[in-house]
């Protein structure tokens, strides 16, 4: 004996008026919104880094600051070590060996880059970082 199943009717919603309703709500909120006047108070933002900001917060992070000086020279700070950019490999090797002596393997490098540093220089630094098996890099950049 065959049992016939009742076929359910599928409900359909008519959505043709939906765009009209959305645009009416959009216009309503655009018209009724009160705009604030700009305040006269100046917002003073903190600087992202300074020359002396070489302390790292996480002992497994390698803190690297690259600063362009006024005479066109580039200064590099790797944790507590500092020097010129041409000594980047030596500074990185010192910092990584210091971290290994402290029983920490560097997991990530945090780069604080000055706005006047060229991207080609940053790429050279990143290549040097990868040579020391540090694959995670975090970039912090602030235009002053």
The string of pLDDT tens digits covering residues 121-134 is 888 888 888 888 88
Strands (E), 59-120: 61-68, 74-78, 81-84, 108-114
Domain ranges of the chain: 61-142
Q: Report in angstroms the alpha-carbon separations of 3 from 6, 8, 87, 93, 132.
A: 10, 15, 85, 80, 73
Q: Is 26's pLDDT higher than 50?
A: yes
Its pTM stands at 0.55
Instruction: Confirm if 49 and 66 have CB atoms less than 8 A apart.
Output: no
């Amino acid at each position: 004996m065959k049992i016939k199943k009742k076929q359910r009717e599928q409900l359909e919603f008519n959505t043709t008026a939906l765009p009209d309703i959305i645009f009416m709500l959009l216009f309503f909120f655009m018209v009724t919104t009160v705009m604030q006047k700009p305040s006269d108070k100046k917002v003073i933002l903190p600087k992202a880094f300074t020359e002396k900001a070489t302390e790292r917060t996480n002992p497994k992070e390698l803190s690297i600051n690259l600063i362009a000086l006024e005479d066109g020279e580039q200064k590099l700070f790797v944790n507590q070590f500092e020097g010129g950019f041409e000594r980047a490999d030596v500074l990185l090797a010192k910092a990584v060996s210091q971290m290994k002596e402290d029983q920490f393997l560097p997991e990530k490098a945090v780069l604080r880059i000055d706005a006047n540093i060229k991207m080609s220089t940053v790429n050279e630094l990143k290549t040097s970082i990868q040579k020391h098996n540090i694959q995670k890099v975090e970039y912090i950049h602030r235009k002053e």
